[in-house]
């Protein structure tokens, strides 16, 4: 009996030893796995380096753009050291109420990313492989914040609305990304947007400094009340209305567009680039196919490569703002305008036209049309294959010659005065 108890005790000790060894082995494996995860996170953090765009801004144009873009605006990678990770789900709203950086991924239908933060909060939405398809509401809706960044990682992202937008109370939320606050679009990846109405709308300022945007929509592709500024990035637009549109129905003294970089390919039914006050282009590559290529009260071209194919006016300056008088001012850049047949004008101003530099290559029946003055100070002008050194005026039944004399059949038109200057 005593011998039996001794054997049983020995077996019990052996079983306990085996169990302890097994538990110790599992604990070690768990610790090792956790260590591997931590190491991977560390490696990821170490390999993500800030990528920054250099904005080719100027201070002496119609718009003083010297301080237009902040360092964070131009940084294409987000600081993820304290970022929160979120995943979209079918029929769910991801609500963000605090300032911070949020990495968002996942695929969902009838889902929304809703930002409702304090009026001084800066929120960065980092899209990392996001796909949302809605029927009637914005995929991203910014109700309140100081500024919201929509930043793409090196990934493919898509947002679409397929039905009729429904209002949020008195707010007509009619865009796939709809913001009541300042909006910055940047990053290293691609964001594809499809909409039955507008593509991206902000009731404040919009900046684009990087990434690739591909927008197909029924109304305006990029719409802002106050301004649209482009420093870099690739923007492709197919719209049944306007490409870039900056205007405020309640204040005609605001609504301007500034472009100093990037590559824009715009194919629209109405206006390619349209602003109530100023369109200023300092650099960048623009290819525009539209009814009217560029339209504003004051159009200033200082640089860039611009190729316009238009059915009505290539560039038009009309009285859309009480802050300025209509003026088209060309100081530099390479401009090509190809006009359709009929009553069309390549460069059309309800006020004045001033050419002081750059290269203009125009194919049109009517290369220039102005109501006040046409001034040639320099640059190269090629009209229908021939180099000219004057700005002839095409008006009803003829027009005014280079020296201001009336051509046969010419009919003078009234017009606004000279530029309502806005120098930097």
DSSP state of 99: S
Would residue 21 count as lying in a domain? no
- Tell me what pLDDT residue 48 has: 57
Task: Tell me how far CA of residue 67 lies from CA of 104, 165, 227, 290, 378, in angstroms.
Answer: 30, 36, 14, 32, 30
Would residue 37 count as lying in a domain? no
Burial class (CB within 10 angstroms; exposed 0-12, middle 13-18, buried 19+) of 71: exposed
Would residue 298 count as lying in a domain? yes
Number of folded domains that form the chain: 1
Classified as helix, coil or strand, 251 is coil
- Structural contact between residues 168 and 201, judged by C-beta atoms closer than 8 angstroms: no
> What are the structure tokens assigned to 83, written together?
């970022």
Would residue 112 count as lying in a domain? yes
pLDDT along the chain (424 residues), means of 10: 42 40 35 31 47 92 96 98 98 98 98 98 98 98 98 98 97 97 98 98 98 98 98 98 97 97 98 98 98 98 98 97 97 97 93 98 97 98 96 59 32 30 34
Count how many Cα atoms sit within 13 Å of the Cα of residue 90 in the half-sphere of its side chain: 0
Burial class (CB within 10 angstroms; exposed 0-12, middle 13-18, buried 19+) of 352: buried
Query: Pick from 146, 157, 164: which is nearest to 187 by CA?
Result: 157
| DSSP strand pairing (386-388 vs 380-383) | antiparallel
Q: How far does the chain reach from its first CA to its final CA, in angstroms?
A: 106
> What are the structure tokens assigned to 192, written together?
């594809």
> What are the structure tokens assigned to 339, written together?
């006009």
CA distance 1 to 355: 116
- Structural contact between residues 350 and 324, judged by C-beta atoms closer than 8 angstroms: no
Query: Pick from 91, 103, 109: which is nearest to 158 by CA?
Result: 109
Residues 6+ apart with CB under 8 A from 214: 190, 191, 192, 193, 236
- Tell me what pLDDT residue 418 has: 32
- Structural contact between residues 237 and 220, judged by C-beta atoms closer than 8 angstroms: no
From start to end of 99-204, where are the E strands?
A: 100-109, 112-116, 122-134, 140-144, 147-152, 156-161, 175-179, 182-187, 190-195, 198-202
CA distance 128 to 274: 32
- Tell me what pLDDT residue 395 has: 56
- Structural contact between residues 150 and 109, judged by C-beta atoms closer than 8 angstroms: no
Would residue 422 count as lying in a domain? no
Count how many Cα atoms sit within 13 Å of the Cα of residue 26 in the half-sphere of its side chain: 5
- Tell me what pLDDT residue 342 has: 84
Predicted TM-score (pTM) of this structure: 0.84
- Structural contact between residues 189 and 212, judged by C-beta atoms closer than 8 angstroms: yes
Would residue 175 count as lying in a domain? yes
> What are the structure tokens assigned to 9, written together?
């005790």
Domain range for 188 is 71-388
Would residue 2 count as lying in a domain? no
Query: Pick from 225, 172, 223: which is nearest to 201 by CA?
Result: 223
- Tell me what pLDDT residue 171 has: 95
| DSSP strand pairing (278-296 vs 256-268) | parallel
Would residue 34 count as lying in a domain? no
- Tell me what pLDDT residue 343 has: 83
Cα angle 299-359-307, degrees, rounded to a multiple of 5: 65
């Amino acid at each position: 009996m005593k011998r039996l108890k001794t054997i049983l005790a020995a077996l019990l000790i052996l079983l306990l030893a085996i169990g302890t060894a097994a538990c110790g082995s599992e604990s070690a494996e768990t610790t090792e796995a956790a260590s591997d995860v931590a190491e991977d996170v560390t490696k990821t953090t170490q390999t993500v380096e800030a990528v920054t765009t250099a904005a080719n801004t100027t201070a002496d144009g119609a718009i003083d753009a010297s301080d237009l873009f902040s360092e964070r605006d131009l940084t294409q990678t987000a600081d993820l050291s304290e970022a929160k990770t979120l995943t979209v789900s079918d029929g769910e709203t991801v609500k963000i109420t605090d300032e911070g950086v949020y990495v968002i991924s996942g695929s969902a239908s009838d889902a929304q990313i809703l930002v409702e933060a304090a009026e001084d909060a800066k929120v960065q939405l980092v899209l990392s492989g996001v796909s949302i398809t809605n029927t009637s509401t914005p995929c991203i809706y910014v109700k309140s914040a100081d500024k919201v960044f929509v930043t793409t990682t090196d990934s493919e992202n898509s947002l679409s609305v397929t039905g009729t937008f429904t209002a949020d109370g008195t707010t007509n939320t009619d865009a796939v990304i709809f913001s009541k606050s300042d909006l910055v679009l940047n990053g290293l990846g691609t964001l594809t947007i499809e909409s039955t109405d507008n593509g991206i709308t902000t009731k404040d300022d919009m900046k684009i400094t990087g990434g690739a945007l591909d927008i197909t929509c029924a109304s305006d592709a990029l719409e802002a009340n106050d301004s649209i500024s482009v420093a870099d990035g690739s923007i492709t637009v197919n719209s049944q209305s306007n490409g870039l549109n900056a205007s405020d129905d309640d204040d005609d003294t605001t609504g301007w567009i500034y472009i100093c970089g990037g590559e824009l390919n715009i194919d629209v039914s109405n206006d390619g680039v349209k602003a109530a006050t100023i369109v200023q282009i300092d650099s960048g590559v623009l290819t525009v196919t539209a009814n009217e290529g560029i339209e504003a009260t004051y159009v200033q071209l200082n640089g860039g490569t611009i190729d316009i194919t238009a059915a009505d006016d290539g560039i038009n300056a009309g009285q859309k703002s009480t802050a300025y008088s209509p003026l088209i001012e060309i100081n530099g850049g390479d401009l090509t305008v190809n006009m359709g047949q009929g009553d069309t004008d390549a460069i059309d101003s309800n006020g004045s036209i001033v050419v002081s530099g750059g290269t203009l290559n125009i194919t049109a029946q009517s290369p220039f049309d102005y109501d006040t003055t046409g001034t040639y100070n320099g640059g190269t002008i090629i009209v229908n294959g021939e180099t000219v050194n004057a700005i002839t005026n095409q008006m009803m039944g003829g027009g005014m010659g280079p020296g201001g004399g009336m051509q046969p059949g010419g009919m003078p038109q009234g017009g606004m005065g000279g530029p309502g200057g806005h120098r930097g």
